[in-house]
Amino acid sequence: MGEHSEAVETLRWNNGRLEMIDQRVLPARFEYLAYTDAAEMAEGIRSMVVRGAPAIGVAAAYGVALEAIKWRSTSSGEFSRKLTLACEVLAASRPTAVNLFWALKRMQGVWEQHASRPVVEIADALLAEAHEVLAEDIRINRRMGAHGAALLKDGARVLTHCNAGALATAGHGTALGVIRSAVEAGKKISVIADETRPFLQGARLTAWEMVQEKIPVTLITDNMSGYLMSQGEVDAVVVGTDRVAANGDVVNKIGTYMVAVLSKRHGIPFYVACPLSTIDLSIPEGAAIPIEERPASEVTGFRDCQWAAQGVAIRNPAFDVTPAELVTALITEKGLVNQPNRQKIAALFNS
Ligand code: MRU
């Protein structure tokens, strides 16, 4: 499959607007929403129309490009003010996935590089860069997929948590990209998808992606994985990540840590599909990564249905930290980092 013929186009440029699949309503409805400036895009990220670390990065890049296009006929001073504000608004949309900040930095680099040019040319350069961020993400996912597929034996039953699929990226996916690549290589792979409370990325999104592609998938609630592992029904775990610290600690969707601990207990390999853009060398260890706390309403119910007792206190951390010692390997576009640690991660960036 070529890079522009992905089955699921999570984000697509259409007629001067960025269209994104509305992931809040999947799988009941499959529809695109259109975005025309940075403020709208920031709201799309915050409200999780688009989610998943790499997809958030691509969306942020387009947010900057859209804002640049919107102000392409203005003075250079006004253009700079609008773009600076746009970057601030986008940066405030969600705190944990580092790809958001990585993409903004990359777009700011292009802006600086073209700073002496007419505003209209800066806007063109920013749009071209956003297109490149999207295309590059798919290329990277395919490279990670090839490295990771080799780890899965024919017939493997692979558990995954949250959605690290095409919907969480520009296409192919990170963790689900590994599974897709293994299937493309002719292996029989079946997927066990954790439901992933409270936003149900597993039940709604991973299950949908796998059903679309006829990759066998079984849905379980988050409290069932330990039992399945104890019964010998899980051969490997592959998850994605929102940010990896310099020492290899992995931040991913809430519940990932439990799965990693259980994997260790049962001797099951725990793999993390991780593009280099998700590694944050400025953060020494996982405990320093900001963890988003989301609205209580996500825990007390779902959509219009509220089931929790009125007045109960709620916690809703959206991510947790899996210590590096529980990670069998990071799967990156440059290859595997087995039993990641600070030295191996530093070496990855120097190779
Ligand atoms: O809150 P979300 O849905 O944005 O969280 C997504 C995850 O935790 C994914 O596992 C992670 O971003 C990796 S996506 C390739």
Q: Say if domain 147-348 classifies as CATH 3.20.20.70.
A: no
Q: What's residue 5's pLDDT? A: 52
Phi and psi at 299, nearest 5°, equal -95, -35
Report CA(126)–ligand 1 centroid distance (Å): 26
Q: What's residue 4's pLDDT? A: 42
Which of ligand 1's atoms lies nearest the C-alpha of 169? 15
pLDDT tens digits along 266-303: 999 999 999 999 999 999 999 999 999 999 999 999 98
Report CA(228)–ligand 1 centroid distance (Å): 23
Report CA(253)–ligand 1 centroid distance (Å): 6
pLDDT tens digits along 176-203: 999 999 999 999 999 999 999 999 999 9
Range list of H helices, the chain: 38-46, 53-70, 76-91, 98-113, 119-149, 175-184, 207-212, 225-230, 256-266, 297-300, 342-350
Report CA(320)–ligand 1 centroid distance (Å): 11
- The protein residue whose alpha carbon is closest to atom 15 in ligand 1 is 164
Which one of 8, 94, 162, 194 would you pick to mutate in the ligand 1 pocket, going by the greatest count of ligand atoms within 8 A of its CB? 162
The residues facing 20 across adjacent strands are: 11, 33
Q: Where are the domains of the chain?
A: 11-142, 147-348
Kindly list the catalytic residues: 242
Report DSSP letters for 56-108, one per residue: HHHHHHHHHHHHHHHTTTS-HHHHHHHHHHHHHHHHTS-SS-HHHHHHHHHHH
Low-confidence stretches of the chain (pLDDT < 50) are 1-4
- The protein residue whose alpha carbon is closest to atom 6 in ligand 1 is 52
CA dihedral 91, 97, 100, 106 (to 10 degrees): 120
Please choose, from the candidates 259, 279, 278, the residue with its C-alpha nearest in 3D space to the C-alpha of residue 269.
Answer: 259
Using a cut of 0.95, tell me whether the model's pTM lies above it.
Answer: yes
Q: What's residue 91's pLDDT? A: 98
Which one of 47, 242, 298 would you pick to mutate in the ligand 1 pocket, going by the greatest count of ligand atoms within 8 A of its CB? 242
Which of ligand 1's atoms lies nearest the C-alpha of 173? 15
What does DSSP say about strands 157-160 and 236-239: parallel, antiparallel, or unpaired? parallel
Which of ligand 1's atoms lies nearest the C-alpha of 252? 8
Which one of 94, 241, 258, 276 would you pick to mutate in the ligand 1 pocket, going by the greatest count of ligand atoms within 8 A of its CB? 241
Class of domain 11-142: mainly alpha
Report CA(24)–ligand 1 centroid distance (Å): 14
Which of ligand 1's atoms lies nearest the C-alpha of 165? 15
Query: H or E segment at 270?
Result: strand 270-273
Ligand 1, pocket residues at CB < 6 Å: 51-54, 97, 162, 164, 168-169, 174, 201, 240-242, 252-253, 318
> How far apart (Å, rounded) are the C-alpha atoms in residues 202 and 134?
23
Which of ligand 1's atoms lies nearest the C-alpha of 51? 4
Report CA(79)–ligand 1 centroid distance (Å): 33
Q: List own/partner pairs for 264-268 with CB under 8 A and 24 or more apart.
A: 264/326, 265/229, 266/229, 266/230, 266/234, 268/229, 268/234, 268/235, 268/236, 268/237
